[in-house]
């Protein structure tokens, strides 16, 4: 074997060993202190050593240099020493800021630096941890089961959201086992990461230590949740059965419910919330809210970033959308035009209200956007094509550089991702936790005319947005540190996205 081969292999083994040492540190910070660690938005919790090393390699997007696992270990060990309170902490940005401070001749002590950076979340040893918020899933379909997976994974020490119950209509004598099996196995998103136990006598599912009560009911107004120890719960209606205030307010008549969130566009005066854009509009008085649609969540953050930097005059949104379970496997009756034709054999032109719904979160775009959709024979991941006319001109390089930075350091980092690869296809984005992913190589820009291609996992990415809205409703969304920064568009002023 060549010396280079041996050296490369030894380097990998050393890096893998460092990644293995990170796992108990990451887990302890999460379970004991409610600290969610990440590298430029890539969560480190419950990741394998190889996944952790991939996240370190991703850091090249931000600084053209791969993050050294040895630097990460030092930060994680220092975090364990200072024991901060619940927060979302970007390890890569802490490493970067500490290095910048050292280069500028500042203090080099890492613990002192972290105490300064994280001062807002340092807690007294005797401080009592805040209690969690009970969450009930009304419905257990595609979105409901993904919400369950995410909520179980986010339970941590129990200070945040706590999935307490699922409400469904009983489908037969073996209903509970079948519901648990659908949670355990998914043809698109793969197996559940953990263990699931079923107690048919008590009608419960135990998922990774989270006890979920399964309640059989077809009446949202007559359930006594307090009988199951559930109080002041947020009910997440993912059935789509009711979308107006009259229908959704039925949940509020059940004992133990404080608020309701709809996982579909709301009708009438219901606020449609796109997290990252208008979640600050949530008031304590809001009893019923909507998390809008998957497409609205995918395109609104990108449109907000573009409008803030360049101004949007007008545009058209075309969505190439995977089929959904309201379509037919084979031709059959459907009330919608063309929707009765086979979903797995055809591309189907249809309507979408996503473009018009953008203005509910971004009022300045009222009347500026049109939209249409094509349903295609894929089970998940969709593509939005934004054809926009801007107020201020740009070019492909400048526009992509701006959107890349938005995805890395701006307040929209959780919503907007960015990729440049000539080989990516839709299945590469299954499981993405961002609302939308800008495909930089597909960008077209000529003066004030631009075309952007935005991928989105219309199931999982949307479900992550829903959970963020639930956290905002509960007041449990973690403090983000270091604080995200404004992004400067070239030849312009800093923008607030």
Give the pLDDT confidence of 67-120 residue by residue, as tens digits.
Answer: 999 999 999 999 999 999 999 999 999 999 999 888 888 767 999 999 999 999
Share of the chain above pLDDT 70, in %: 96
Instruction: Please give the chain's pLDDT, 497 residues, in tens.
Output: 688 999 999 999 999 999 999 999 999 999 999 999 999 989 999 999 999 999 999 988 776 678 999 999 999 999 999 999 999 999 999 999 999 888 888 767 999 999 999 999 997 655 555 679 999 999 999 999 999 999 999 987 666 899 999 999 998 889 999 999 999 999 999 999 999 999 999 999 999 999 999 999 999 999 999 999 999 999 999 999 999 999 999 999 999 999 999 999 999 999 999 999 999 999 999 999 999 999 999 999 999 999 999 999 999 999 999 999 999 999 999 999 999 999 999 999 999 999 999 999 999 999 999 999 999 999 999 999 999 999 999 999 999 999 999 999 999 999 999 999 999 999 999 999 999 999 999 999 999 999 999 999 999 999 999 999 999 999 988 889 998 877 877 654 445 55
Active site residues: 294
Nearest 5°: the CA angle 129, 134, 135 is 135
Which pLDDT belongs to residue 102?
87
* CATH 3.30.360.10 residue spans of the chain: 294-457+485-495
HSE, side-chain direction, 13 A CA sphere, residue 405? 17
Which pLDDT belongs to residue 64?
65
* CATH 3.40.50.720 residue spans of the chain: 133-264
CA-CA distance, 276 to 370, in Å (whole number)? 22
Pairing label, strands 271-272, 288-290: parallel
Which pLDDT belongs to residue 123?
75
- pTM as predicted: 0.94
Those residues with Cβ within 8 angstroms of residue 189's Cβ, 6 or more apart along the chain or in another chain: 146, 149, 380, 430, 431, 459, 460
Which pLDDT belongs to residue 94?
95
Which pLDDT belongs to residue 129?
55
Which pLDDT belongs to residue 493?
44
Which pLDDT belongs to residue 107?
66
CA-based torsion, 93, 95, 100, 104: positive or negative: positive
CATH of domain 294-457+485-495: 3.30.360.10
Which pLDDT belongs to residue 163?
98
What's the fold here for domain 133-264? Rossmann fold (3.40.50)
Which pLDDT belongs to residue 489?
79
Pairing label, strands 416-419, 494-495: unpaired
Which pLDDT belongs to residue 492?
43
């Amino acid at each position: 074997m060549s010396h280079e081969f041996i050296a490369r292999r030894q380097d990998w083994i050393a890096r893998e060993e460092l990644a293995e040492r990170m796992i108990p540190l990451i887990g302890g910070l999460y379970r004991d202190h409610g600290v969610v660690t990440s590298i430029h938005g890539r969560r480190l919790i419950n990741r394998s050593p190889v996944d952790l090393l991939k996240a370190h390699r991703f850091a090249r997007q931000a600084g053209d240099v791969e993050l050294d696992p040895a630097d990460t270990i030092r930060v994680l060990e220092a975090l364990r020493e200072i024991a901060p309170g619940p927060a979302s902490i970007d390890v890569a940005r802490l490493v970067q800021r500490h290095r910048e401070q050292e280069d500028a001749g500042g203090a080099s002590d890492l613990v002192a630096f972290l105490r300064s950076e994280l001062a807002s979340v340092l807690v007294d040893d005797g401080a009592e941890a805040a209690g969690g918020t009970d969450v009930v899933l009304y419905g257990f379909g595609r979105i409901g089961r993904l919400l369950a997976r995410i909520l179980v994974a986010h339970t941590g020490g129990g200070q945040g959201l706590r999935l307490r119950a699922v409400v469904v209509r009983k489908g037969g004598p073996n209903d509970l086992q079948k519901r648990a099996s659908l949670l355990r196995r998914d043809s698109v998103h793969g197996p559940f990461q953990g263990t699931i136990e079923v107690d048919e006598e008590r009608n419960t599912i135990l998922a990774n230590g989270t006890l979920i009560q399964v309640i059989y009911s077809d009446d949202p107004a007559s359930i006594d949740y307090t009988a199951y120890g559930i109080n002041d719960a947020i009910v997440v209606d993912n059935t789509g059965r009711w979308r107006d205030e009259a229908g959704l307010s039925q949940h509020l008549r059940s004992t133990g419910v404080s608020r309701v969130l709809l996982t579909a566009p709301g009708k009438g005066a219901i606020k449609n919330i796109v997290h990252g854009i208008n979640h600050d509009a949530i008031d304590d008085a809001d009893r019923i809210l909507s998390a809008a649609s998957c497409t609205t969540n995918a395109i609104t953050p990108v449109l907000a970033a573009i409008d803030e930097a360049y101004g949007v005059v007008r545009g058209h949104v075309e969505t190439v959308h995977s089929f959904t379970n309201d379509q037919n496997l084979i031709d059959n009756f459907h009330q919608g035009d063309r929707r009765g034709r086979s979903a797995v054999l055809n591309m189907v032109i249809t309507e979408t209200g996503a473009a018009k719904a953008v203005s509910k979160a971004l009022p300045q775009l009222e009347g500026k956007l049109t939209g249409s959709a094509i349903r295609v024979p894929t089970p998940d991941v969709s593509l939005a094509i934004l054809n926009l006319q801007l107020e201020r001109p740009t070019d492909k390089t400048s526009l992509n550089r701006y959107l890349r930075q938005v995805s890395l350091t701006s307040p929209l980092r959780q919503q907007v991702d960015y990729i440049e690869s000539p080989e990516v296809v839709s299945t590469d984005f299954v499981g993405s936790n961002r609302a939308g992913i800008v495909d930089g190589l597909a960008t077209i820009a000529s003066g004030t005319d631009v075309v952007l291609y935005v991928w989105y996992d219309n199931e999982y990415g949307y479900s992550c947005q829903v959970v963020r809205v639930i956290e905002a409703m509960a007041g449990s969304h973690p403090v983000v540190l270091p604080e995200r920064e404004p992004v400067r568009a070239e030849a312009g002023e800093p923008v607030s996205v």
